[in-house]
Structure 1
Amino acid sequence: MKINLKSGIGQLVFGMKEKDVKAIYGEPTRQFKDDDKNTIYLYNKEKIRLTFYADEDFKLGYLIAAHPDLELFSVKVLGQNWESLKKVLEEKGIKGFDKETYDSEDNYFNEANWAIFRVEFGEVIRVELGAIINSKDEFDWKF
């Protein structure tokens, strides 16, 4: 599963509607509404969580992925030592990470790409991607 910064993961593209996602993956393993009335899809096989924003006509706006085959710049992400991955990212021009620590996890957030790399015990365990907000303070939908 290839991470496409600013766009999505694999065939999933920010701005898709629920029907577009179902055409690719079928029915979700589980679905529910969060506190903001957004629709959440969980796909166990793909190890991905999708958020469709209620305020944006239920467009796909956020992804959380933990699939072992996640790749970025042809490098496997999960299980990768954070410092090694960070070096690869910086070589590709992805710089500027804000670090927040929660219990045993460190989250490294890159605002320019709206990406969070969740790290525990020095290794990446999960990746979160959000749709980019443009200079007009609107989502930059890719689909």
Structure 2
Amino acid sequence: MKINPKNGIDKLIFGMKQNDVIAIYGKPDRNYKDEDDNVIFAYNALKIRLTFYQEEDLKLGYLVASSPVLELFGNKIINRKIAEVKKELAEKGITKFTQEEFDTFENYFNEENWVILQTEFDEVVKFEIGAIINDKDEFDWKFKK
């Protein structure tokens, strides 16, 4: 599954509606609302969680994935040492990360691409990507019907 910075993952593009996603991947294994009334889809086989923002007309705005087949710039990232992944990203010009620690986990957040690499025991275990917010403080939806 190819990660497309600022756009989404695989065929999932920020701004899609639930029906757009279902047309591609079928019904999710889980479908529920979070505490903010956002709609969450979870696909077990893909190891991905999708968030459709309630305040944005239920558009796809956030993805959390842990599939070992995730690729960023042609390189797999899950279950790899964070130092190796960051080195590969630096070669693509992605160098600024804010680091946050909690328990045995560390998050490496890159605001420019709105991505988080979550590590545990120095290995990437989860990848998160969100829709970009533009200069007008609005979401930059990439999906066009």
| TM-score, structure 1 as length reference | 0.99
> 1:72-105 CA deviation, whole Å, 9 max, x = no partner?
1111110111001101101101120000001000
Q: Distance in 2 between matches of 1:77 and 1:88?
A: 10
Counterpart position of 2:124 = 124
Unaligned runs of 5+ in 1: none
SS for the counterpart of 2:109 is: strand
- Secondary structure of 1:126's counterpart equals strand
| Aligned counterpart, 1:77 | 77
Match of 1:25 in 2: 25
Task: Give 5+ residue unaligned stretches, structure 2.
Answer: none
Shift of the alpha carbon at 1:128? Answer: 0.3
Q: How much does 1:7 deviate? A: 0.3
- Post-superposition CA distance 1:100-143 (Å, at most 9, x none): 00100000000000000000111100000000000000000000
Aligned to 1:59: 59
TM-score scaled by structure 2? 0.98
Equivalent in the alignment of 2:115: 115
Identical aligned residues as a percent:
59
| AA of the residue aligned to 1:76 | K
Aligned with 1:19: secondary structure? helix
Residue type at the aligned position of 1:51: T
RMSD value, Cα: 0.4
2:37 counterpart of 1:37: yes
- Count, aligned residues: 143
Matching residue of 1:50:
50
Instruction: Give the distance between the partners of 2:64 and 2:99, measured in 1 at CA.
Output: 18
Distance in structure 2 (CA, Å) of the matches to 1:93 and 1:123: 21
Task: Tell me, in whole angstroms, the C-alpha distance in 2 between the residues paired with 1:63 and 1:99.
Answer: 20
Partner of 2:139: 139
